[in-house]
Chain A
Amino acid sequence: MLDGEEKLIMDAIRGEASAFGLLYDYYQPKIYRFTFIKTGLREEAEDLTHQVFLSAWQNIKTYQYQGFPFSSWLYKIARNQIIDHYRTQKPVLDIEAAGELEDKNERIEKNLDLKISMEKVNAAIAELKPEYQDVLIMRFTEDLSPKEISFAIDKPESTIRVIQHRAIKSLQKILESKNYDHK
């Protein structure tokens, strides 16, 4: 959570662009990462992230602080944007996209102790249910608490823990079935 976030949000609600700019700087990489992992395409992730923050900026007066960080509200918008996006267009993770993803994440692979290519990992993640993807990304990549995730995806905290458990099991099965084993 960003220091002085509540004040920044209040200033942004009053129409101060600079306050929203600071919120954007802090949360935009997180939302971009979320949309990028979900879509697997840079351009789509950029478009979706742009739409998320545009929508947040235009509707920030409707935001009400309920004890959750601003990120939960942004993730909720992002999820809805992605759902809308897939309503009109099915997700495609073709060779080109996989290649793009691989190029983009060369640095990531270098840092991985596991010898699994990011292409394969992303392909495995793409096979998960959208809900499983959301929970795993929010929980492990963005380090949100189950409570924060529960607000973002409108489900009880206990359900989030169950979904997380099932998502891990499901991903394990997918990786094992495709021999995505590390060496």
Chain B
Amino acid sequence: MTINEIEKIFRNLAVIKPDQNYSRKSKTEILSRKQAFSGQLATARGFSFSFKNIFEIAKLSGAISVIGLLILILMGSVSYINKNFSPLGLEGLNQKSLVVEAEGINNSIQITLQEIKHLDQSNKKAIETIEKVSQNKPIYTTLNATASSSNETASGTVETLENFLIDASVIEKENNEINDLLDKAMQQ
């Protein structure tokens, strides 16, 4: 069998034709099913709404979301690297830590000033107390005065001694009060 004879066999197969009824039914079914499958709905504005369009929109939205997510991850990574590994992130160069450190120093200065002020006030109180005490007549001054007057009269001497004894107990109380005030002042 030659090549030409084989070609002729195949060319003669071209007379094969489908059944007309089958063709008609198939065509009708295909064209009707297309509309049912595609879900095309013509709106009043003539916009062609189809599931394919929804799919396209979903695809676009997905792509945008992924890009957004990648940008966020990138920004987070840059921030993390900058925070943890950057040479600019040294403690001495970190602005926040510097501010915190400065605030700490400022607070310690304030505390020191308050202490100084407190000591100053305490000193003033102590001075005032000493002055107050010094205004009261000391015991030895009273004794001297009493001794000079005793030479004048004997009767007067007895009275003066009694007064001295009375005054001594009063002075002792006053001294105790002064000591208490001094203690309180020191405590403050």
Contacts and interface: CB of A to CB of B under 8 A. Distances in A.
Interface of A: 15, 17, 20-21, 24-25, 28-29, 32-33, 36-37, 42, 45-46, 49-50, 53-54, 57-58, 61, 104-105, 107-108, 111-114, 116, 121, 136-137, 139-142, 168, 171-172, 175-176, 180-182
7 contacts: A24-B30, A29-B23, A53-B26, A108-B16, A136-B10, A137-B10, A140-B10
Interface string B1-36: 101011111111111111100110011011101110
B5 A114 contact: yes
A143 B52 CA distance: 36
A172 B10 CA distance: 13
B85 interface: no
B38 interface: yes
Nearest to B9: A121
Contacts of B47: none
Between B12, B33, B38, the greatest number of chain A beta carbons within 10 A of the residue's beta carbon is seen for B12
Given A58-B38, A108-B13, A49 B18 contact: yes
| CB-CB nearest 5 A-B residue pairs | A140-B10, A32-B18, A17-B31, A33-B16, A50-B26
Interface of B: 1, 3, 5-19, 22-23, 26-27, 29-31, 33-35, 37-38, 40, 48, 52
Contacts of B1: 172, 175-176, 180-182
B31 A57 contact: yes
A104 B18 CA distance: 10
Contact of B6 (A50, A58, A105, A172): A172
Given A50-B26, A116-B9, A105 B37 contact: no
Contacts of B17: 29, 32-33
Contacts of A57: 30-31, 34
B6 A36 contact: no
A107 B15 contact: yes
Contacts of A140: 6-7, 10-11
A25 B31 CA distance: 12
Given A20-B31, A114-B5, A175-B1, A141 B26 contact: no
A168 B26 CA distance: 34
A37 B16 contact: yes
A58 B37 contact: yes
A176 B5 CA distance: 13
A50 B30 CA distance: 8
Nearest to A14: B48
B30 A53 contact: yes
A28 B38 contact: no
B167 to A, nearest CB: 125
Contact of A182 (B5, B12, B33, B48): B5
A84 to B, nearest CB: 18
Given A24-B30, A140-B10, A141-B11, A36 B3 contact: no
